[in-house]
Amino acid sequence: MSAEQKASKKARRKGVVTKARRKTAIAHAILRKGTGKIRVNRMLLGIVQPRYVQLLIKEPITLAGELANDIDVDVSVKGSGQMAQAVAARGAIAKALVAYTNSPKLKKEFLDYNRMLIVDDIRQTEPKKPLGKGARAKKQKSKR
């Protein structure tokens, strides 16, 4: 392999890498120049079920419009449940689009539409404590 071929391979691999979180789900998105493919955990987005989750993940690309036609997005998500993973993937894609285009107008559009596209939601359920059936609920004490 010649030096030119190595350099062109590196250039193809380059892109924008971002991370987003929701509960315990962590999503890493790699955005690079391409043909418009979106993959989530190595699966094309069209395969992901239910359809609502598909639309949720695709939302930032729909909002970006023409800016997102010639890019490929690879998202890997771990942890938590299906909806938290979808929201984390959506946030990672939105952050990657803003970093890739370097457009303050796009960032403002995302923030106006839904702040959770850019800002991570790291709230987690509180752990259960002793003497109760939940995080805060306790057994009732009788006075007599």
CATH number of 13-117: 3.30.230.10
pLDDT at 67 over 60: yes
pLDDT at 130 over 70: yes
What integer pLDDT is reported at residue 98 of this predicted model? 92
Distance CA 90, CA 84 (A): 10
Q: What value, to the nearest 5°, has the Cα angle with vertex 113 and ends 117 and 52? A: 65
Measured on CA atoms in the order 40, 100, 58, 88, is the torsion positive or negative? Answer: positive
pLDDT tens-digit map of 133-143? 889 988 888 88
Distance CA 120, CA 115 (A): 9
Q: Where are the domains of the chain?
A: 13-117
pLDDT at 48 over 80: yes
pLDDT tens-digit map of 72-118? 999 999 998 999 999 999 999 999 999 998 889 999 999 999 898 99
Q: Which residue has the tokens 């998500």?
A: 77
